[in-house]
Amino acid sequence: MQIIILLMGFLMAMVIAFAFGKLVSKIKLPAILGWLIVGMILGPNAVGLISGELINAPWFSILIDLLECIFGLMIGTEMIMKELKKAGSQIIVTTITESFGTFLVVSLAFAVVFYLADIPLYLAVVVGAIALATAPAPSLSVVKEFKTAGPVTKTLIPMAALDDLVGALVFFSVMAGVSSLVTGGSISFDAIIIMVFMPVIIGALIGFIAGKLMNSFAERYDLPIMLGMMFLSALCGIVFNSLVEGASLNFMLIGMSYSTVFANCIAKERVDAIMRTMNPIIGVAMIIVILNLAAPLDYHLIYSAGAYSFIYIISRALGKYSGAYFGAVVTKAPETVKKYLGFTLLPHSGVSLVFTGIASSTLMAAAPECAEILQGTIAAAAVINEIIAVFMAKKGFEWAGELYKAKS
């Protein structure tokens, strides 16, 4: 009975979020902005309609993992290799420059601040590593809602997958060094590689099998094969997390790599047919994932946000924008990519909170004061940044002239 009550509360929150999203859309803002606000207001830190007990329930976490896999379909099915080859080097170079540009700008900003405040400088590098990652869901929801198409959209979609890889690789490498320095422990290089690339391996292998099966059967079996094998890929990730202590695989990345591989194994017409059926399901998955992302955010932190949080938001935005701009200039990307791609890379909170949790647990025993600074800084920044970032992502596409340009 308790589970039913919790689920009813979440379903009511979904209906409210959907309605508020529609209302926000009427004033030309992204619906996801409405979903985020509703999630925070109805979450456990405010009204409580979305219960903390539900969010923390293991079975609900598994459901979110599966929905993130489904959301990954939206990205992977757009990554057709024939099209990517035309801009492959541009995407790789720009991903590297915007990622490491963010890492350097944020790390340097906090190195100066922490030096003046007599706080250990290794914490600046940890903050820089957390700032590196981009949460693709908010920007991609804008892509879907406003039917964007053009150079910025074409660059952003594959970057969403690559950015997660680079962000995880840098973060776990930094934490390996910091863990060795502060606690005397260490994370092996093998473990870092497994944590970063296992989602890609799982998704790609099962996606290859799915593609082969689709080619062996009539088109009417495409959807059940795709769904069945996607559930299998999610199950493999769940089993891996349960067996490997401390593992936390990126399920959106599993979905991205899975769908990228099968989409390149079958005709584009068959991929399009699958996605026409899946689009409404992806829309529902998107609302649930965003509500789950927003509900734990405490809006009270906006009032208590200190200077560190604002330095974090500003330095991260400067790093993302300048890094993306530099990469676009080097690769001679279109002018709109140079000017506006950086704005679409600002959303961040889901990944940042996961990384903050890992870093804080590593530092808590040996340097609790550093763990507290990290938690307070990123938590407050996550709330403020996400609202600003969604608005700026939409403006980036608008300024690039890519709204409502996708073919129906």
For 224-254, the pLDDT digits (tens) are 999 999 999 999 999 998 887 766 777 888 9
Is 126:359 a contact under the CB 8 Å cutoff?
A: yes
CA dist., res. 30 & res. 144, Å (int): 10
CA dist., res. 345 & res. 321, Å (int): 8
Q: What is the pTM of this model?
A: 0.77
Residue 135 above 90 pLDDT?
Answer: no
CA dist., res. 183 & res. 359, Å (int): 12
Residue in this structure with the two tokens 């590196």, named with its chain if needed: 132
What is the rounded average pLDDT of the residues 288-305? 76
Write down all domains in the chain, each with its CATH number in brackets.
2-399 (1.20.1530.20)
Burial (CB count <10 Å: 0-12, 13-18, 19+), residue 30: buried
Is 229:210 a contact under the CB 8 Å cutoff?
A: yes
Q: Compute and round to an integer the Cα radius of gyration of the chain.
A: 20
Residue 258 above 90 pLDDT?
Answer: yes
CA dist., res. 121 & res. 64, Å (int): 36
Of 56 and 210, the structure prediction assigns the larger pLDDT to: 210
Task: Transcribe 218-270 into DSSP letters.
Answer: -GGGHHHHHHHHHHHHHHHHHHHHHHSTT----HHHHHHHHHHHHHTTS-HHH
In whole angstroms, how far apart are CA 392 and each of 138, 213, 258, 279, 340?
11, 42, 30, 25, 10
Greatest CA separation for the chain: 67
What is the rounded average pLDDT of the residues 188-192? 67
Residue 364 above 80 pLDDT?
Answer: no
Among 95-104, 194-203, 256-265, 380-389, whose mean pLDDT is lowest?
A: 380-389
Query: How many Cβ atoms sit within 10 Å of the Cβ of residue 11?
Result: 11
- The pLDDT assigned to 84 comes to 59
Count Cβ neighbours within 10 Å for each residue of 103-121 and write b for 16 or more, e otherwise.
Answer: bbbbbebbbebbeeeebbe
What is the rounded average pLDDT of the residues 200-219? 93
Of 339 and 293, the structure prediction assigns the larger pLDDT to: 339
Query: In this predicted model, what pLDDT tens digit does every residue of 138-158 receive, in sequence order?
Result: 787 888 888 899 999 888 877
CA dist., res. 285 & res. 70, Å (int): 7
